[in-house]
Amino acid sequence: MGRLEKALGSLYGLAIGDALGAPASFISPDEIKALYGGISEFAGSKKGIHAGLSAASVTDDTRIALAKARAIVKAGRVGVREIAAEVTDEVHRLLWSRVSLVGPSTSSAVELIDRGFSPWFTGLGGRTDGCAMSVAPVAVYGWAATPQVLFELVELSCVPTHCHFGAVLGAFVVAMSIKGCINGLSCKDSISDAVSLAGSMRPRTCLGSALDIVGRYREAKDAYSKHGPRGIYEFYKDKSGALTEDAVPAALAIASVAGDFESAVLAAANAGGDADTVAAITGSIKGAEVGIQGIKGEWVNAIKHSTIEIDMMARELLKLGGTL
């Protein structure tokens, strides 16, 4: 399987996970079962922050990830100002259309950008999971980069909205996991390598404390192995929040343990909490392992109406990344 198939798997996997998780966002596994009988396919959102969203619709998670992909392709690099401009335009479209809410860190940053502040400063203190959920295009672009260079690219991509070391570190581990899978590693091995590198990375721009990636990943993996999606829900420190220290270890745990793409994204969706983001991250990693052929064709076709850019973006990001 070639890198293009794996890159397509990652980007479509992100979007599919996002759409599957949207109806279950910020509700409990018991509520998910009562409302939907469990998530097994795309469903319209009946409750929560995405109430009223139709089946197979993506949220801000996918839309902002694709905005970052556009910025990289247009500029030929990961540029802070270019990413800030594309993300700001996408947030304006989301708010105007009322299709989806936008995460707290991104919303605050865009408000500051609109008021004329430099994007080098607008993301200070943004520590939620928005950078990790939108990092897949950076990982595809960085498929040939060394770990240090990839960390620097990830940090630049986070600066406008999530310039906090913890948020950057979480996004880096996701990006390294995707990169490893694109280059032929299994999810289990790629995630293990990524987690082991986390402690050696230091930011150039973003401040804040690091995350205990190793410890939280072990906790999440133990919880999922023993109790499935309910174990992940109980693992979350903030079941109604969007913490990087919840979302990233949960997604890593599910992606490393689940046997295939379908079981991985459905487990993330049925765990509740920040389900769209956790399922999107899970899908972006597991999709890079199995490639586009390892994802149900009907899921890919159902999501294409809102992700028409993905095929072109995957090709362009890979081509640009070969020059790193």
Question: What is the maximum span of the chain, computed from C-alpha positions, in angstroms?
Answer: 51
CA dist., res. 218 & res. 278, Å (int): 16
Domain range for 266: 3-321
Residue 125 has a pLDDT of 85
CA dist., res. 33 & res. 30, Å (int): 5
Q: Is the pLDDT of residue 128 over 90?
A: yes
Q: Is the pLDDT of residue 180 over 80?
A: yes
| CB neighbours of residue 40 within 10 Å | 12
Residue 322 has a pLDDT of 80
Residue 230 or 304, more confident? 230
Query: In the predicted model, what is the mean pLDDT of residues 162-176?
Result: 96
One-letter amino acid at 196 equals: S
Report residue 192 as tokens. Answer: 């293990």
Percent over 70 (pLDDT), the chain: 98
One-letter amino acid at 261 equals: F
One-letter amino acid at 46 equals: K
Residue 307 or 287, more confident? 287
Q: In terms of residues, how long is the chain? A: 324
Overall number of domains in the chain:
1
| CB neighbours of residue 146 within 10 Å | 10
Per residue in 29-58, pLDDT tens?
Answer: 999 999 999 999 999 999 878 888 889 999
Q: Which residue has the tokens 């745990």?
A: 253
324: pLDDT confidence band, cut at 50, 70 and 90? Answer: low
CA dist., res. 43 & res. 62, Å (int): 17
HSE of 293 in the Cβ direction (CA atoms, 13 Å)? 5
CA dist., res. 181 & res. 163, Å (int): 26
Residue 304 or 245, more confident? 245
Radius of gyration of the chain, Cα coordinates, nearest whole angstrom: 17
209: pLDDT confidence band, cut at 50, 70 and 90? Answer: confident
Of 223, 238, 242, 233, which Cα lies nearest the Cα of 29? 233
Backbone φ, ψ for residue 42 (5° rounding): -60, 140
**244-257 and 213-235 helices, crossing angle to 10°:** 90
Q: Is the pLDDT of residue 305 over 80?
A: no
Residue 51 has a pLDDT of 80
Minimum mean pLDDT among 64-73, 201-210, 216-225: which range? 201-210
Minimum mean pLDDT among 69-78, 262-271, 299-308: which range? 299-308
Percent over 90 (pLDDT), the chain: 85
Residue 99 has a pLDDT of 60
CA dist., res. 212 & res. 154, Å (int): 18
Q: Say which CATH number the domain at 241 has.
A: 1.10.4080.10
User: How deeply is 202 buried, as exposed, middle or buried, from its count of CB atoms within 10 A (0-12, 13-18, 19+)?
Assistant: exposed
Residue 207 has a pLDDT of 87
Q: Is the pLDDT of residue 100 over 80?
A: no
Residue 228 has a pLDDT of 95
Query: In the predicted model, what is the mean pLDDT of residues 86-99?
Result: 86
